[in-house]
Structure 1
Amino acid sequence: MNIEVSDEIQKMQAQVRAFIRDEIVPMESDPRQTGHGPTEELRDVLVEKARQRGLLTPHASLEMGGAGLSHVAKAVIFEEAGYSHLGPTAMNIHAPDEGNIHLMDVVASDEQKERWLRPLVEGKIRSCFAMTEPSPGAGSDPSMLQTTAVRDGDDYVINGEKWFITGAEGASLAIIMARTEDGHATMFLTDTDRPGFIVERLMDVMDSCFTGGHGVVRFEDLRVPAKDILGEPGKGFRYAQVRLAPARLTHCMRWLGAAQRAHDEACQYARTRESFGKRLGEHQGVGFMLADNEMDILTTRLAIMHCAQVLDRGERANQESSMAKVISSEAIWRVIDRSVQILGGQGVSGENVVERIFKDARGFRIYDGPNEVHRMSLARKILARETEELKR
């Protein structure tokens, strides 16, 4: 690895760090937050702050008005944004919009980009990605996709149910994965105000950092024009890989910022809190936890940077992103859990932001594929590689 960050990106990093510290962290106690994420009103305020600082949607292409960041540059900037649970929302780099922006930038037609992608990049609308289904539908195994799309003249009629659809409530655009009559998966773009697009309810989940929460969505004879297919028919799973590897990695970047925040809070407490005649951090048990935190943070950052470099070379990085996801989600969980332990009573109460980080971060070992599925995929690749070597 030869990680070099340009002077320009270092300058942006300093700008984002100051923006999060001065503008966003002070808003973390804003009452316009619910168990299902920031309200639309609060999101609009946050987005405007980033817009005024010239930090809105920096990962989007130059043609769409973004900064066209490389994956390595995103690793630097997204970590800084993740230092506050409101930071990614403010900068319009939160899931699922961040991944949808990347996917549409690669696959969407010029007409689709002007209709949906540009306002998405400008922070004027939100989107959702509707793929996960309740049993017996698609979950960690996408081949179990149950939602159907049947051709009817110039339209497709979509029927099915999705759940854990992040940002569904209040989203203007949805990317829907459905199975067409030939059995192949296809992605469809649709305005959510069309008849037949129904957000049934919001699910009560541990995290509360995503605007729009996580919804249960039903499609009831939803008509989508054939021209609104994203990319080509039958290539839905292929396009999902275009989205998933980079989006999986940006999850790691943002959560690393949250873990750094938890560690910083624990360090500050360990420096100032006294116990049994000396500072808390001078007790070996606490000091060792702080040291382990630093090692886990470094390991995570290196794994992310390695995968980012592979993506920047134009490679798919499926294996590298799987490894980075498992390493990151488990390492940052250890960091946050230790930080809770160091903070003691504060760590399990709303008196400190770490309690919120703890609840928000637990789902990361499940989101974008459970860690067990990634390990299973990695094992298959390892065995296939050894088999091929034996053949040679």
Structure 2
Amino acid sequence: MKFFQVGPVIHGCETFKEFVEEFEVDSNDLVLSNHYIYEPLLKDVDPKCHVIYQEEFGSGEPTDVMVAEIMKEVDKIDYNRMIAIGGGAVMDIAKILVLKRTESIDDLYADPKNVVKEKPLIAVPTTAGTGSEITNVAVMNRTKMNLKMGIQTQDMFADYAVLIPQMLDTVPYKLYANTTVDALIHAVEAFISKNWTPFTEMFAIHAIKLILKGYINVRDNGPDARFETNMDSMLASTYAGLAFCTSGCGTVHACSFAFGGKYHVPHGEACYQFFIETLRYFQKHDPEGRIKKLDALLCKFLDAESDGIGALETLLDQVAPLEKMSEYGAKEKDIAAFAKATYDNQQRLLKNNAYPIYEEGLAEIFKARL
């Protein structure tokens, strides 16, 4: 039994300037980032490296078309290392850009043997949610299928992950809420996965504890209180990533891809849509499984006598109110289509469930969220 998946070397720096100095960033490096993230950092230090901005190749989350266009630009540049500075989208794109070229991006999905890293990658997250900096997964929307899908192999790991709390200073509240909920979901799905181990449980529990502590602080002291716990948020995201990198995510993430792909909903926001409903599904159908232990853990952290999942739902509603799928444009006819697409295309995730779920169960979750 595999106990734990070890990925990149993890560093911590207080500021971007400290990172530039520690890693000796210079004109031989290529940065992938966004204008609004990277340009303010240059006020403190300018390493004079090559820079590519994701949004110049399209808006929204990564698609295979966008990544192919960025590849063309990257291939014009002579560089030694790639540095991804951004959220999950930027880091996922960078993981693909440092791979050996194939005839098309479809080839990367067709055969894991085609996924071969050629350049070193440093991942610097600017949100506390995706955990992409320390996982071996990259997700993008496959436009021909109108579906988000992940690529997961050993060569998808970054070489270094660098946590810089300064990066969260300018994150808007809604993005903070959506990304930290994503990290919470990573931790919870790792905790209840059939592949859990003593190592993944340890990291998952600590991630859940830190995130809930941060939410309680925000609930009691207002949105700006989140800045007091920037490093805790970064660490929680990384702990959760370390947990699900071995245990794997499950139904919540699986459901997010069909909905998020069709209605262009950001990843964390799409996952949040199905979080509590999925936990209730397992509570109903597998009450004595890992979900029972999760509920007890939530009771402990949220000071609830019973129904820890209910206490979690209440807290989440206080700090990040959730809209139904219909508010994004989803229709009744989407339910069966989403359930089929999820079951047919997301077995990479669904296989991690301790209790199996089929199209009927997925449709039940989608219907409840409409």
Tell me if TM exceeds 0.5.
no
Q: What TM-score do you get using the length of structure 1 for normalisation?
A: 0.24
Q: What TM-score do you get using the length of structure 2 for normalisation?
A: 0.25
Higher alpha-carbon Rg: 1
